[in-house]
Amino acid sequence: MAITAAQVKELREKTGAGIMDAKKALTETDGDMEKAMEFLRQKGIASADKKMSRIAAEGLVASYIEDGVGAMIEVNCETDFVAKNPEFKELTENLAKQVVKANPADVDALLASTCPCCNMKVEDKIKEKIAKIGEKITVRRFIRVEGCPATYIHNGKIGVLMNTDKADEAVQKDVCLHIASAAPEFVSRNEIPQAVIDEETRIEMGKEDLAKKPENIRAKIVEGRVNKLMAQKCLVEQPFIKNPDVTIADYINGHFAIKSFTRWVLGEGLEKRNDNFAEEVANQMKG
């Protein structure tokens, strides 16, 4: 079947693969997107942690903590220029505060809530800013936790909100910084769904470098590789970024237990406008 530029573009955004590698993968799998992603991973061209995580929107991630309640929010706009606007920054920070105060159930409830500072609905306040700033502004998502929250926001682009059973500000800050940098997916191994382990095992079993090895040897190698992959996904098993000789579990021992964490990258999974990309793909495919 003929492979289109749009298919290549989609596969690149999901995997981070090059144009020609993406085209080959789609050709080999008759245009099946899921099989093409698996093909690239088995070739070592794409990595699982890049899947659907391409930064593709502007705006800010902000957080707010007060009296044992923490919130983190992502607000999107159209250009980085507006994202740097002090009024947009103030709006985003106030919305994070509103999540803490009003405890809305979802984005619609947040928009329908009333700002205590101006007695306006949040939705109307955003419309007011849109009229003034001149760009579309949307609240994409937020999260709220109660307990002993801690947060770290890196340049408004990466946000971490962690909740622990006890407070230790210095250690909590270090762990939030680590999460922002190391991008774990789970707190510990018991949170990993069996389906994730099974899928990684299947992918590893299909890799070319193991094709000629005896079944029992291949199984042992795959088990070791999957075990390593799972350790990389778990926060408490990762080497602490400030001291790789100890794990996060070692570092927090005696200070607190981590109940949960959320790590967001601004715009992950959203598509950024690129007017010349389709033409670029089409030209390279012709070659």
- Note the pLDDT tens digit of each residue in 36-88: 888 877 776 554 344 333 333 799 999 999 999 999 999 999 888 989 999 99
Report the percentage of the chain scoring pLDDT > 90: 56
34-51: string of b/e by CB count within 10 Å (b at 16+)? eebbbbbbbeebbebeeb
- Look at the block and give the residue holding tokens 């502004």: 137
CA distance 263 to 72: 10
User: How many CB atoms neighbour CB 212 within 10 A?
Assistant: 7
**Which string of b and e fits 99-120 if b means at least 16 CB within 10 Å?**
bbebebeebeebbebebeeeee
Tokens at 269, concatenated: 């999974």
pLDDT for 64 equals 98
Amino acid 73: pLDDT: 98
Cβ neighbours for 154, distance < 8 A, ≥ 6 positions apart: 180
Fold of 1-54+272-287: Helicase, Ruva Protein; domain 3 (1.10.8)
Residues paired with 168 in a beta bridge: none
| 58-146 CATH fold | Tetrahydropterin Synthase; Chain A (3.30.479)
Domains of the chain by residue range: 1-54+272-287, 58-146
pLDDT confidence of residue 178: 97
Res. 19 pLDDT band, cuts 50 70 90: confident
**Strand 258-265 versus strand 158-164 pairing type:** antiparallel
Separation between Cα atoms, residue 60 and residue 267, nearest integer Å: 9
pLDDT confidence tier of residue 161, bands split at 50, 70 and 90: very high
Beta strand spans in 67-113 (E) = 69-77
Structure token digits, residue 182: 């190391």
Higher pLDDT, 145 or 220: 145
pTM of the model: 0.73
Closest CA to 10 of 58, 76, 54, 73: 54
Q: CA-CA distance, 240 to 236, in Å (whole number)?
A: 9
Q: Is 108 in contact with 46 (CB distance < 8 Å)?
A: no
Read off the pLDDT of residues 220-278 as tens digits, 9 standing for 90 and up.
898 899 899 999 999 999 999 999 999 999 999 999 999 999 999 999 877 665 545 45
Q: Which range (12-16, 59-63, 175-179, 242-246) has the least confidence?
A: 12-16
Tell me the pLDDT band of 92, cut-offs 50, 70 and 90. very high
The tokens of 133 are what? 């700033």
Residues paired with 240 in a beta bridge: 243
Burial of residue 178 (CB within 10 Å: 0-12, 13-18, 19+) is buried
The side-by-side arrangement of strands in the sheet containing 69-77 is: 58-66, 69-77, 138-146
- Measured CA to CA, the distance from residue 227 to residue 90 in angstroms comes to 44
Report the C-alpha gap between 95 and 36 in whole angstroms. Answer: 40
Check whether 192 has a pLDDT greater than 70.
Answer: yes
